[in-house]
Amino acid sequence: MDTSKRNRRILMSVFGVLICGISVGMYKRAALGVDPFQSLMSGLDSVLPIRFGTLYVIVCAVLLTFSLLFDRHKIGIATMINLFLLGYVAEFTQGLLTRLFPELNLAGRGVLLAVGVVVMCLSTAFYFTADLGVSVYDAISLIISERQHKVPFRFCRIISDLICVAAGTCLCRLSGFSWQEVTGIVGIGTIISAFFMGPLIEFFNVHAARPFLER
């Protein structure tokens, strides 16, 4: 790989993780549901007295141990950038949006969620196209699928997503969240993230990420 292309891959990874963190902050501020892994993180955040960014690093470090034990080839520069940066960017973005928009009606939250979905898809396209490692959460489903050859990746991912959503919901309820508050974590945003983001990610792959890499 020539130096120029490798530098573009690194730039794409950093950019992807940064705007992914921004999108997570948007999801959390919109309070209409976050992606499955973030629902687990929100549940843990509700019961542990640790700032979100630090908690994200700790949980990802535990998952990283799993990846290193079973398939370290999934770990790369992008993995480490994601591990140490995404949680703090999400925490900062949520705090900033809360200060800028202390009161949001349902329409405003819907707009924020829609923008968050677009930003999330753009970040995913750049992050995956860079191909310098995957997040530790993505790595788990990939590793299990490859080691259990009869189980397709999509089923492993659905199972892991369901576990995260169920665990996040239970933790939020244990910490005293009402069902209305829980729907701010597991809601329409969760459903969109799990089932409807594929076409938009592919659009950004074709029209943004790949042209940038191959320019």
Residue 142 or residue 68, greater confidence: 68
Q: What is the pLDDT of residues 143-178, one digit of tens each?
A: 888 887 777 877 888 888 889 999 999 999 999 988
Q: What is the pLDDT of residue 72?
A: 80
For residue 1, pLDDT over 60 is answered with no
Highest mean pLDDT among 19-23, 159-163, 191-195: 19-23
Give residue-wise pLDDT tens across range 32-49: 998 888 899 999 999 999
CA distances from 4 to 10, 15, 58, 131, 156 (A): 10, 16, 34, 15, 36
| Residue whose tokens read 């549940």 | 43
C-alpha angle 23/24/28, rounded to 5°?
115
- Three-state DSSP string of the chain: CCHHHHHHHHHHHHHHHHHHHHHHHHHHHHCCCCCHHHHHHHHHHHHCCCCHHHHHHHHHHHHHHHHHHHCHHHCCHHHHHHHHHHHHHHHHHHHHHHHHCCCCCHHHHHHHHHHHHHHHHHHHHHHHHHCCCCCHHHHHHHHHHHHCCCCCHHHHHHHHHHHHHHHHHHHHHHCCCCHHHHCCCCCHHHHHHHHCCHHHHHHHHHHHHHHHHHC
Integer Cα distance of 34 and 165 in angstroms: 10
* Chain mean pLDDT for the chain: 88
- Please give the pLDDT value at position 158: 83
> What confidence category does residue 5 fall into, taking pLDDT thresholds of 50, 70 and 90?
confident
Q: How far apart are CA 171 and CA 41, in angstroms?
A: 10
Which domain range does residue 34 map to? 3-214
User: Does residue 207 register a pLDDT over 60?
Assistant: yes
Q: 9 is written with which tokens? A: 């891959």
Tens of pLDDT, residues 177-187:
888 888 888 88
Evaluate whether 97 touches 112 at the Cβ level (below 8 Å).
yes
Number of domains in the chain: 1
What's the predicted TM-score (pTM) here? 0.85
- 71-118 per-position pLDDT tens digit: 887 788 888 888 888 999 999 999 999 999 999 999 999 999 999 999
